[in-house]
Structure formats: C-alpha cells, structure tokens
C-alpha cells in the first residue's frame, strides 16, 4: 500500500479520507461496503492505475479516517451522494467511472439515480438495483419477510448492535463478517444476536492476510461501528426522501456482477430477479455477470477476475 497516496479532503460538510493512485485522464471511483474500508479495493487501485486510470478509493462517511457523525439522520442517500459529488468537484472531475460493492453498490445506485450526469459508467458488485415500494418502508417489509432475527432488523435500534459487538475486539468482528460462514439468510434464532451467531473462523482464506485484517481492525477500534451501522438505520429515511424518484430508471451504462454463493443470492430472490425483466426494465443499459462459486466479498476473493471485468467494461465507454 506504500505507493498509494493518502489525503483528506473537505466535502459536503465532512472531512473524507481518500486513497489515490494513477495519473490517467479517466477517473475511477471505488466505493466500499460494510464493514470495509478503502483498502478492500487495494488490488483494484493498483491494477487500474497500472492500466492508465486515475483511481480514488475513499473511506466512506462513518468509516476509517473519514468523519463519523453519530446521528443516523446524517447518513441518508442525499448525504452520501453529496459526499461523492463534492469529492468529484474537489478532484476537478465532471464525471467518473464508478465501482461499488455491498453498501457501496447501493450508494452507487443512488449516485446514478440522483446525478447520472456525473457517472460515465457503473460496475456494481453484489447488490442489484431494487425498485422502491410505493407503499411499504424497507424495514417493515424486511421485518415481515425475515423476522426479528434478521441482521438488518437487529441493526435498526441505536446502540443494540454496538452493545453486542462490545463483547468482541474489532479483529474478531471483522473476521465474523468478512469471512462469513452462515446460512444464506443472515437471521438468528430468537434471543440471539447476529454477532454471537456468526462463527469466528480459525483459518484465513487465500484472499486476505492477517496484516490486512489488523489494518482494518485498528481503524474500527478507533472509529467504532456506529457510522457503519447508521447506513442501515437511515434506510427508512431514504424511502421518505426518494419518493420523487418513484419508478425512475438507471440510465447509466451498467455491468452488474454477483457470485452465485453470495449471501442472500437465493433467499433474497436475487437469482430470479436478475434473470427477469423487472431488473432490465429499471436498468435498461445492463450487462449481468454471475460468477460461479463466487461469494460476497468478491472483489477480494476473485480480485483478478473482477478487475478484468471492470477494465473490459470501462475500456469500451
């Protein structure tokens, strides 16, 4: 990571830390998810820079060395998109190629929905673009479908997850989530917290090192997890704010990539949804790639393959 430059920039009322490499004309913006940092894109930062791109990977609001407001109301789609638009302005770029993963993919969808003029093309990993229900807020819908034990249900109440997380050090928490070994639906039996339910793996897979995990753990030890959890707590607020975009389509050219072993690929209905007409009607300029035996943190697990998919798509735009 030593040849990657780091700085903090001021955007949308916060200070945001960014990792940056490359002198290319075209900017690639890499948006991480939960519970990750800019460093989850380390392979892509280096590889894309070598291919002639100017690459920027921020610690998103609430993470790492960026500011971490405590109030969940500071984590709406409008805040997150505002952060990225401000970042592009600071970089002096009218447009960027964008790659998102997990919550970063959701933020990238919001960016394309609200400011498509700032995005040349999009590659999103894991999370497809889902239509906004005109009647039911997200949490009520998820609670009805998946119950009180569903991890997002447990994340809603301020302080609940933080209290259960406090029994573990940050390194253990990251191992439980990043190296997840759990049923397709992340839901617990009654009375059990999700962090207690998840196993702590005894060995590491080939795609991540102890040093990388310890780097992230040190950052979360300082920042805590409230900022990261607030993304989930703002979901219903996003629903209220985005009513004016009901039925709107994503017009940006998009490649969507998902592993067929990703959490929720079956139980969330992702498998059937991405094959159907509804997804393509909402994202008309769309390519879909399903990675056989790919899991959730696919940009780490299949770093070379995913990077080739990104480059092959962006190089034609």
Which string of DSSP letters, residue by residue, matches 211-260?
A: HHHHHHHHHHHHH-SHHHHHHHHTHHHHHHHTGGGTT----S-EEEEEET
**Is residue 296 among the annotated active site residues?**
yes
Two structure tokens written together for 138: 């997200």
Asked if residue 1 has pLDDT above 60, the reply is no
Number of neighbours of residue 89 by Cβ within 10 angstroms: 14
* Cα 216 from Cα 227, distance rounded (Å): 15
Asked if residue 138 has pLDDT above 60, the reply is yes
pTM over cut 0.95: yes
Beta carbons of 77 and 50 less than 8 angstroms apart: no
Two structure tokens written together for 227: 């900022």
**Is residue 101 among the annotated active site residues?**
no
Quote the pLDDT of residue 2.
62
Q: Which of 180, 151, 179 is nearest to 164 (CA)?
A: 151
Mean pLDDT value of segment 272-287:
96
Beta carbons of 208 and 172 less than 8 angstroms apart: no
* Cα 29 from Cα 27, distance rounded (Å): 6
**Is residue 102 among the annotated active site residues?**
yes
Q: Which of 91, 134, 128, 89 is nearest to 112 (CA)?
A: 128
* 192: CB partners within 8 A, 6+ apart: 149
Quote the pLDDT of residue 268.
85
Beta carbons of 21 and 38 less than 8 angstroms apart: no
CA distances from 261 to 264, 270, 298, 303, 307 (A): 8, 11, 10, 16, 19
Looking at residue 41, the DSSP 8-state letter turns out to be: G
At 220-245, the pLDDT tens digits run: 999 999 999 999 999 999 999 999 99
Mean pLDDT value of segment 203-225:
96
pLDDT band at 265 (very low <50, low <70, confident <90, very high): confident
At 139-188, the pLDDT tens digits run: 999 999 999 999 999 999 999 999 999 999 999 999 999 987 666 688 99
Using omega within 30 degrees of 0 as the cis cutoff, is the peptide bond preceding 93 cis? no
Quote the pLDDT of residue 258.
96
Considering the candidates 53, 232, 256, 297, report the single residue annotated as catalytic: 232
At 28-81, the pLDDT tens digits run: 999 999 999 999 999 999 999 999 999 999 999 999 999 999 999 999 999 999
Considering the candidates 102, 231, 262, 297, report the single residue annotated as catalytic: 102
Quote the pLDDT of residue 183.
63
* Cα 229 from Cα 177, distance rounded (Å): 13
Quote the pLDDT of residue 234.
98
Backbone angles phi, psi at 21, to 5 degrees: -155, 145
Apex CA 264: angle with CA 152 and CA 307, to 5°?
105
Asked if residue 306 has pLDDT above 70, the reply is yes
pLDDT band at 267 (very low <50, low <70, confident <90, very high): confident
Asked if residue 90 has pLDDT above 70, the reply is yes
Quote the pLDDT of residue 152.
95
Return the exposure string of 252-288: e unless at least 16 CB atoms fall within 10 Å of the residue's CB, then b: bbbbbbbbebbbbbeebebbeebeeeebeebbeebee
Quote the pLDDT of residue 264.
80
Beta carbons of 65 and 17 less than 8 angstroms apart: yes
Mean pLDDT value of segment 193-218:
95
Considering the candidates 256, 295, 296, 297, report the single residue annotated as catalytic: 296
């Amino acid at each position: 990571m030593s040849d990657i430059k780091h700085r903090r920039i001021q955007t949308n009322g916060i200070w945001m830390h960014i990792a940056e490499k490359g002198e290319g004309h075209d900017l690639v913006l890499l948006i991480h998810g939960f519970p990750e940092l800019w460093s989850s894109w380390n392979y892509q930062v280096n590889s894309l820079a070598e291919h002639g791109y100017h690459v920027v990977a921020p610690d998103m609001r609430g993470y790492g060395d960026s500011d971490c407001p405590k109030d969940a109301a500071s984590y709406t789609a409008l805040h997150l998109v505002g952060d990225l638009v401000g970042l592009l302005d600071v970089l002096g770029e009218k447009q960027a190629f964008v790659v998102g993963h997990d919550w970063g993919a959701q933020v990238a969808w919001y960016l394309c929905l609200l400011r498509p003029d700032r995005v040349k093309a999009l590659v999103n990993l894991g999370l497809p673009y889902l239509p906004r229900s005109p009647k039911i807020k997200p949490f009520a819908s998820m609670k009805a479908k998946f119950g009180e034990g569903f991890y997002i249900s447990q994340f809603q109440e301020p302080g609940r997850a933080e209290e259960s997380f406090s029994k573990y050090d940050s390194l253990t928490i990251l191992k439980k989530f990043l190296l997840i070994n759990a049923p397709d639906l992340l839901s617990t039996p009654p009375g059990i917290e999700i962090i207690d339910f998840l196993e702590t793996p005894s060995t590491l897979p080939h795609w991540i090192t102890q040093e990388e995990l310890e780097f992230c753990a040190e950052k979360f030890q300082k920042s805590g997890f409230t900022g990261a959890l607030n993304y989930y707590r703002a979901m219903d607020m996003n629903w209220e704010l985005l009513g004016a975009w009901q039925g709107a389509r994503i017009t940006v050219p998009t490649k969507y990539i998902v592993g067929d072993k990703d959490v929720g690929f079956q139980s969330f209905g992702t498998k059937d949804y991405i094959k159907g007409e509804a997804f393509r009607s909402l994202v008309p300029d769309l390519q879909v790639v399903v990675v056989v035996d790919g899991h959730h943190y696919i940009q780490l697990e299949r770093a070379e393959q995913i990077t080739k998919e990104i480059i092959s798509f962006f190089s034609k735009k």
